[in-house]
C-alpha cells in the first residue's frame, strides 16, 4: 500500500485555495455544513455536550427516586423509561459522539498528517445524520406511552411487543417510543458506520510521507482498531434491529417465544427465540464497549507521554495488545448471558476467553503506569485526567475478573455490581480519556488555553464523585441490590439500600463538577490565555502546524522522519524532537 500523500499536490491544492483569498466564505458553509474535519469534530463535541445535559439530568432524576423513594415524582413505568434513555443517550449520544466522533475527527487527520478525512462530504453527512437521530431520541419522550423502556439493550419480548396490528402491547414504552428508539439507533448506526469507513480510509491511505504504521501515535492506533471493530460488529445489531422491527410491525416471529401471554392476550406471532436477540445484541455490544474505551486509552498514552516527557512504555507491546484485545473482543460476548441459559461448556469457554482478555488489558494498564516511572510529571488538568483513567481501568478491570467467572456472575448478574463495573469502564475511563483529550487539544482547537484552576476543580469533583459512586455500587451489588428496580421490599437488601443516599450525593458531586467544565469550555474560547502553536512541547504532527490550524491543516504537508514520541531525545535531556524534524 503506497502511503505518502504527494507533497506537491498538497501545495498545488493550497494555491488553488489562495486564488479565492479574501472572498468571505459563507457562514453556513463554514460553520454549519462544513466539510472540515476540525469543524465537524467541534460540532460533535457540542452535540455531545448538549445531549449530556439530558442524559446526566435523567440519571440524577432516577438517583433521587433510588435514594428517597417517592420523592422524585415518577411512576415505575417512567422509571424504567428514564433508565433506558439514560443508558442509550450516554453510550451512543454522549460518549460515542464526544470521544469516537468528536475527538477522533479532530485528531486523526492532524496526527497522521493529512489535509482532511478521506471523504469530507461523507464526514459532514455523518454529523448531519446524528442531528435528526438525537432529536428523534429526545422527542420519543413525548409520544403516546412515552419513551422506550426496554433497557439500553432492548431485549425482546418486551421490546418486540409493540401493540401494533395483532402484536400485543408489552408496556407503555414499547409502543411508539420503542419504534422511535429503533429509528434513532438505525440513523446512529448509519452515521457511525460512515464515520468508521472514513477513519479507516484516512488512517490507511492518507498518512503523511514517512508515517509507517509503527510510527503512528497510539491515539491513531486505537481509533483505527476501534473503527475496524465497529465496522465488523455493527452489522450484527443491524440484522437484529431489522428482525425486531419486522416482529414489531409486520407480525413475524423471530424473537417472540411460544406460549407468550400478555395481559391476558395470547400473542399470535410466537415460536421464536428471545435468546437469539441477546446473542446478536452482545455480539455488537461487547465490541462496542471496546470501540469506546480503546481511544480513551490511546489518548491517555499521548497525554501521559507529553506531560511525563517520556515516550510511552512498550509502544510495540501496546499495539499488539490492542490487536489481541480486538480479536478476543469479538468472541467473548456470551459473558453477558451466563444466567440466560446456555450449554455449560459454552459458558466455560466464554468465561475463559473473557479472562484471557484481561491479559492484554493488563499490558495496556502496566504500560500506562510504567510510562510514569521516574518521570518529571507536569500535573496539568489533562494529565490528571489521564492519571485518573489509569486507576479507573485498573479498578473496573478487577470487577471484570469477578464477572467473567461464570459461577460468581450467577450472583452478580443484574445487580449493582455490574452497574458499578461498567460505569467505571464505559463511563469513567471513557470520560476521563475524553477530558484529557479536550484539555490537551483545546489550545489547538481554539488557540486558547482552558483555565487550569477550573480544570482542577472539574477533575477532582469528577474523580472523587464518580469513583465513590461507582465503587459503592459494587458493594450494593454484593448486598444483593438488583438493577432496574423502581423500589425494593426484600429484607436482605436493606443494608445495601442504606447506601443509596450517599451514592446519590456523590452522583450530584460528579455531575455538578461538570458545571465548571462547561463554563470553562465556553469562557476559554473567548477569554482563555492565548496559546502558541505547541504549548505542551509535544512531538506529534498536530503540534507542527500553526494555531489556529489553517484550512488544509498545513502549508506544506509534513514529512515524518521518526517515532511519534521524541521526548528527551535532544542533546540536553529535556529537549524534544518533533516527528517531522529533519534527521
Partner 1 sequence: MLMRIEAWGREEREPVELPESVRAETWQTLTYLMIAGGIMLFTTFSASYLVRRQSADWAPARLPDLVWVNLAVVGAASVTMELARRGGASARRWLGSTIALGVLFVAGQAIAWRQLAAQGVFLTSSPHASFFYMLTAVHAAHVAAGLAVLLAALRRAGNGQLGLCAAWWHFVGAAWAWVVMLLTFF
Q: Name the maximum alpha-carbon separation found in the chain.
A: 81
Measured from the CB atom, is 286 or 444 closer to Cu ion? 286
Does the protein bind partner 1 through residue 252 (CB under 8 A)? Answer: yes
Do residues 539 and 576 lie in contact, with contact meaning Cβ atoms separated by under 8 Å? yes
Of the candidates 357, 481, 496, 507, which one interacts with ligand HEM according to CB under 6 A? 357
Measured from the CB atom, is 291 or 450 closer to ligand HEM? 291
Instruction: Give the one entry of partner 1, ligand HEM, Cu ion, none that residue 201 binds, where binding means its C-beta sits below a cut-off of 5 to 8 angstroms depending on kind.
Output: partner 1
d(CA 509, CA 194): 37
Of the candidates 552, 562, 568, 581, which one interacts with partner 1 according to CB under 8 A? 552
Of the candidates 409, 466, 517, 563, which one interacts with ligand HEM according to CB under 6 A? 409
**Residues 6+ away with beta carbon under 8 Å from 398:** none
Q: ∠69-70-73 over CA atoms, to 5°?
A: 130
Instruction: Give the one entry of ligand HEM, Cu ion, partner 1, none that residue 400 binds, where binding means its C-beta sits below a cut-off of 5 to 8 angstroms depending on kind.
Output: ligand HEM
Measured from the CB atom, is 376 or 530 closer to partner 1? 530
Does the protein bind Cu ion through residue 286 (CB under 5 A)? Answer: yes
Burial per residue of 253-289, b for 16 or more beta-carbon CB atoms within 10 angstroms, e otherwise:
bbbbeeebebeeeebebeebebbebbbbbbbbbbbbb
Kindly determine how many residues on this chain lie close enough to bind partner 1 according to the rule CB under 8 A.
Answer: 77
Measured from the CB atom, is 198 or 432 closer to ligand HEM? 432
Kindly determine how many residues on this chain lie close enough to bind ligand HEM according to the rule CB under 6 A.
Answer: 23
d(CA 436, CA 380): 9
Does the protein bind ligand HEM through residue 229 (CB under 6 A)? Answer: no
Q: Which residue is nearest to ligand HEM (CB)?
A: 400
Question: Closest distance between ligand HEM and the C-beta of residue 222, in Å?
Answer: 12
Question: Closest distance between Cu ion and the C-beta of residue 409, in Å?
Answer: 11
d(CA 437, CA 199): 18
d(CA 260, CA 565): 60
Give the dihedral of Cα atoms 157, 163, 169, 174; nearest 10 deg.
Answer: 60
Q: How many CB atoms lie within 10 A of CB 186?
A: 18
Instruction: Give the one entry of partner 1, ligand HEM, Cu ion, none that residue 253 binds, where binding means its C-beta sits below a cut-off of 5 to 8 angstroms depending on kind.
Output: partner 1
Interactions with partner 1, residue window 107-126 (CB under 8 A):
115-116, 118-121
Name the segment binding ligand HEM (CB under 6 A); options: 12-20, 141-149, 211-219, 288-296.
Answer: 288-296
Q: How many CB atoms lie within 10 A of CB 408?
A: 15
Give the dihedral of Cα atoms 344, 350, 353, 358; nearest 10 deg.
Answer: -120
Instruction: Give the one entry of ligand HEM, Cu ion, partner 1, none that residue 426 binds, where binding means its C-beta sits below a cut-off of 5 to 8 angstroms depending on kind.
Output: ligand HEM
Question: Closest distance between ligand HEM and the C-beta of residue 259, in Å?
Answer: 26
Burial class for 166, CB neighbours closer than 10 Å (0-12, 13-18, 19+): exposed
Alpha-carbon torsion (241, 243, 244, 246), positive or negative: positive
Question: Closest distance between partner 1 and the C-beta of residue 102, in Å?
Answer: 14
Q: Which residues bind ligand HEM (CB under 6 A)?
A: 153, 289, 292-293, 335-336, 354, 357-358, 361, 397, 400-401, 403-404, 409, 412-413, 418, 421-422, 425-426
Residues forming contacts to Cu ion in the complex (CB under 5 A) are 286
Amino acid at each position: 500500500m503506497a502511503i505518502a500523500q504527494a507533497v506537491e499536490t498538497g501545495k498545488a491544492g493550497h494555491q488553488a485555495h489562495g486564488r479565492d483569498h479574501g472572498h468571505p466564505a459563507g457562514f453556513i458553509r463554514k460553520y454549519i455544513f462544513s466539510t472540515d474535519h476540525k469543524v465537524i469534530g467541534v460540532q460533535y463535541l457540542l452535540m455531545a455536550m448538549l445531549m449530556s445535559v439530558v442524559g446526566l439530568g435523567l440519571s440524577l432524576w432516577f438517583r433521587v427516586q433510588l435514594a428517597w423513594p417517592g420523592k422524585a415524582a415518577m411512576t415505575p413505568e417512567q422509571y424504567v423509561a428514564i433508565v433506558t434513555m439514560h443508558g442509550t443517550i450516554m453510550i451512543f449520544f454522549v460518549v460515542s459522539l464526544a470521544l469516537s466522533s468528536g475527538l477522533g475527527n479532530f485528531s486523526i487527520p492532524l496526527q497522521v498528517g493529512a489535509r482532511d478525512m478521506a471523504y469530507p462530504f461523507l464526514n459532514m453527512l455523518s454529523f448531519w445524520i446524528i442531528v435528526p437521530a438525537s432529536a428523534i431520541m429526545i422527542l420519543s419522550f413525548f409520544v403516546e406511552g412515552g419513551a422506550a423502556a426496554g433497557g439500553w439493550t432492548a431485549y425482546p419480548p418486551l421490546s418486540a411487543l409493540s401493540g401494533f396490528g395483532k402484536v400485543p402491547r408489552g408496556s407503555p414504552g414499547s409502543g411508539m417510543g420503542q419504534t422511535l428508539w429503533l429509528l434513532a439507533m438505525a440513523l446512529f448506526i448509519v452515521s457511525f458506520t460512515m464515520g468508521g469507513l472514513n477513519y479507516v480510509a484516512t488512517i490507511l491511505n492518507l498518512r503523511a510521507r514517512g508515517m509507517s504504521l509503527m510510527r503512528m501515535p497510539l491515539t491513531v492506533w486505537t481509533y483505527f482498531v476501534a473503527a475496524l471493530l465497529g465496522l465488523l460488529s455493527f452489522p450484527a445489531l443491524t440484522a437484529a434491529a431489522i428482525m425486531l422491527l419486522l416482529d414489531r410491525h409486520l407480525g413475524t416471529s423471530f424473537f417472540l417465544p411460544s406460549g407468550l401471554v400478555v395481559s391476558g392476550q395470547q400473542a399470535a406471532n410466537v415460536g421464536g427465540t428471545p435468546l437469539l436477540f441477546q446473542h446478536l445484541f452482545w455480539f455488537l455490544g461487547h465490541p462496542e464497549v471496546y470501540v469506546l474505551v480503546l481511544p480513551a486509552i490511546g489518548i491517555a498514552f499521548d497525554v501521559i507521554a507529553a506531560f511525563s516527557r517520556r515516550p510511552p512504555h512498550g509502544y510495540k507491546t501496546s499495539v499488539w495488545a490492542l490487536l489481541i484485545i480486538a480479536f478476543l473482543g469479538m468472541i467473548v460476548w456470551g459473558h453477558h448471558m451466563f444466567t440466560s441459559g446456555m450449554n455449560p461448556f459454552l459458558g466455560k469457554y466464554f468465561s475463559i476467553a473473557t479472562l484471557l482478555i484481561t491479559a492484554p488489558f493488563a499490558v495496556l494498564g502496566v504500560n500506562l503506569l510504567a510510562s510514569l516511572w521516574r518521570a518529571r510529571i507536569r500535573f496539568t488538568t489533562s494529565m490528571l485526567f489521564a492519571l485518573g483513567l489509569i486507576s479507573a481501568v485498573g479498578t473496573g478491570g478487577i470487577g471484570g475478573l469477578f464477572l467473567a467467572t461464570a459461577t460468581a456472575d450467577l450472583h452478580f448478574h443484574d445487580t449493582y455490581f455490574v452497574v458499578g463495573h461498567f460505569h467505571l469502564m464505559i463511563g469513567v475511563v471513557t470520560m476521563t480519556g475524553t477530558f484529557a483529550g479536550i484539555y490537551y487539544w483545546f489550545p489547538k482547537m481554539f488557540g486558547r488555553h482552558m483555565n487550569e484552576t477550573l480544570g482542577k476543580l472539574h477533575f477532582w469533583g469528577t474523580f472523587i464523585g464518580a469513583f465513590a459512586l461507582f465503587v459503592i455500587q459494587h458493594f450494593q451489588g454484593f448486598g444483593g441490590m438488583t438493577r432496574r428496580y423502581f423500589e425494593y421490599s426484600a429484607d436482605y437488601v436493606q443494608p445495601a439500600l442504606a447506601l443509596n443516599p450517599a451514592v446519590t450525593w456523590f452522583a450530584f458531586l460528579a455531575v455538578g463538577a461538570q458545571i465548571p467544565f462547561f463554563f470553562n469550555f465556553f469562557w476559554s474560547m473567548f477569554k482563555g490565555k492565548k496559546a502558541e502553536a505547541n504549548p505542551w512541547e509535544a512531538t506529534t504532527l498536530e503540534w507542527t502546524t500553526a494555531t489556529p490550524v489553517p484550512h488544509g491543516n498545513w502549508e506544506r504537508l509534513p514529512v515524518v522522519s521518526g517515532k511519534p514520541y521524541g521526548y528527551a531525545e535532544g542533546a540536553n535531556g529535556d529537549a524534544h524532537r518533533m516527528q517531522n524534524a529533519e534527521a
